[in-house]
A and B are shown apart, each in its own frame.
Chain A
């Protein structure tokens, strides 16, 4: 497992926050909302894979079939 994933998620979060502020200042609230949604969905895709790997490992380890 690599720790880089945590940094990547934090970087995506900060970039979305900055772009959200920029879009909001220029009066494009709907694009700002969409941007947040897309960012969350992208990161959620990565994290869901991670959690599914964890569940598979726990299932094999603790014999939960």
Chain B
């Protein structure tokens, strides 16, 4: 079972961070980055399975492939932004975390504009 591995890595990393943080706070951040990356890398193969399933479902339901790709991109960007902003917030740099989140929100909005335009086209087509 992988859940025990994940919980073990999390607990061990937490204890090491608490030990190291008293004397060297800069190494605590690096340990937390490493633990986060290791846990996410363990989950990547599972996410591949989920995405493959959703992809085959969407192709069977005849959904436009560009919309699916856009949603996938937005999920990936949201994850990366969350990862970075949480690390900055852990290190006590709330303002940097806010800026990272702002950048992520704006880029996600840019990605979502084609969907918004398609929705607008649909509304205009429906309106008499």
Contact = CB atoms under 8 A, between A and B. Distances in A.
B19 interface: yes
Interface of A: 1-3, 5-7, 9-10, 12-14, 16-17, 20-21, 36, 39-40, 43-44, 46-47, 50-51, 53-55, 57-59, 61-64
B57 interface: no
B72 interface: yes
B44 A57 contact: yes
Given A5-B34, A6-B16, A61 B41 contact: no
B109 to A, nearest CB: 16
Max count, chain B CB within 10 A of own CB: residue among A46, A53, A62? A62
B56 interface: no
Contacts of B112: none
A5 B42 CA distance: 14
Does more than half of chain A's interface fall in helix, strand or loop, or is it mixed? helix
Given A12-B27, A17-B24, A47 B44 contact: no
B76 A64 contact: yes
Given A9-B30, A13-B23, 9 more contacts: A2-B38, A6-B12, A9-B31, A10-B19, A17-B23, A20-B24, A50-B37, A58-B79, A58-B80
Given A13-B20, A17-B24, A40-B27, A63 B34 contact: no
Max count, chain A CB within 10 A of own CB: residue among B9, B34, B51, B80? B34
